[in-house]
Every structure is written in C-alpha cells, then in structure tokens.
Amino acid sequence: MLIRAIRNVALCALWALGSPAARAEGLADEARFQPWTDPAPPFRLRTLSGAEVRLDDLRGRVVLVHFFATWCAPCRTELPALQQFAAAAGSQNVALVVISVAEPDGRVRRFAESTNLALDVALDSDRAVTRAWNIVALPTTVVLSPGLSPRFGAATDLEWGSVSAGRLIDRARDGGPEPLPIVKQPPGG
C-alpha cells in the first residue's frame, strides 16, 4: 500500500509538471478508481459551521469521503467540480464528506470563503481520521456502499465533470470488481 501510494504521488507530481513518464503511465489521459481495501472506520468530526458529521449517520446512502488540504494545488482545482458533482448526485441518495487534513480552522475557512466553496468542510486537525483510514496522498476520495463498506477509491485528483454520477452510484451499490474509469483532461486541455 505504501509503495503504491508513493508511486501515485510521484507520478502525479510528474504529471503536474507535464512529464513524458507520467503521460506514458496514462495519468495525463485517465485516472482510475481502484478497489479500496484499506479500513474505513467510523468517525466524528466538527465542520466549519460548527456542526458534527458522523459517518454512522450516513448509513443507507452511497458516501464519498474526500480528503484534501488547502495547500494542495490539485485539491484546490478539483473541489469546485467535486461540489458540482455532489449537487448533481445528491438527489440519488449520495452524501459527500469533504475532510480538510491537518490545517488550522481559520485557514480552511478563508479558503472556503475565497473560493465560494459551499460545502461544509469537516476538520481533521490532528489527522486522527486520516491516519485511521491509511490516507497517504492528497487528494484522496473513497467511495463507500450504503452499508459503509469501502468499495473503491482514488489517491489522485479527478476530473469530476467526466464522472457519471449514476454509474458511480450503481457501482458503489453493486460493488462490482472492475475499476471505474475516469477520463482526465491534460492541463490546458
């Protein structure tokens, strides 16, 4: 798991720099959700609004748990499209939990205000949830079944505008074995 995560981080960095090695890996064209075998233990986090989000309260819905940081350039780029995806998928009994990792509340609040982020960001200031879930790269999105079992995840940024909400939700409910392809546009493309 650690070697895969380090490889993904290195390739994402190369992709961001336009490296031919990253293009050869296909990251410039496509990212893939992979089966998620790491744990997804229950959590309880405070949000920017002061509310509390509990994973157990989301049972019965497909849940996307998205880990990010404001200093992470791909995270910053991805969040507006993820917000639009969540709005489109919300009518299909889907919940999105966006978790800021190891950052002061004030920084996250300023970021949310400056980017018009309407999502109520959960705060994992001490990284307890991030560590419990074995998250080693940002951004990372984990998709859970309605029973809160991990189905698949992506330890990279995704082009959420190209993700079929219906297909993603069906795959999370059914738990099919093959990865779900996500088409990613190259920078400037």
Angle at 8 between CA 4 and CA 9, to 5 degrees: 120
Q: Give the span between the Cα atoms of 121 and 115, in whole angstroms.
A: 13
User: What pLDDT, on the 0 to 100 scale, is given for residue 15?
Assistant: 39
Q: Which two tokens stand for residue 91?
A: 């009518």
pLDDT-based confidence at residue 163 (cuts at 50, 70, 90): confident
Q: Print burial letters for 10-24: b (CB count within 10 Å at least 16), e (below 16).
A: ebbebbbeebeebee
pLDDT-based confidence at residue 137 (cuts at 50, 70, 90): very high
Q: Give the span between the Cα atoms of 16 and 138, in whole angstroms.
A: 14
State pLDDT tens for residues 177-187: 444 444 333 33
Please give the torsion angle defined by the CA atoms of residues 84, 89, 91 and 93, in that order, rounded to the nearest 10 degrees: -140
Q: pTM for the whole thing?
A: 0.78
State pLDDT tens for residues 150-159: 998 999 988 8
Q: Give the span between the Cα atoms of 179 and 170, in whole angstroms.
A: 13
Contact (CB, 8 A) for 133 and 41: yes
User: What pLDDT, on the 0 to 100 scale, is given for residue 92?
Assistant: 86
7-11, 87-91, 147-151, 165-169 — most confident range? 147-151
Q: Which two tokens stand for residue 78?
A: 């991805």
Contact (CB, 8 A) for 100 and 24: no
State pLDDT tens for residues 14-64: 334 343 443 333 332 234 688 898 889 999 999 999 999 999 999 999 999
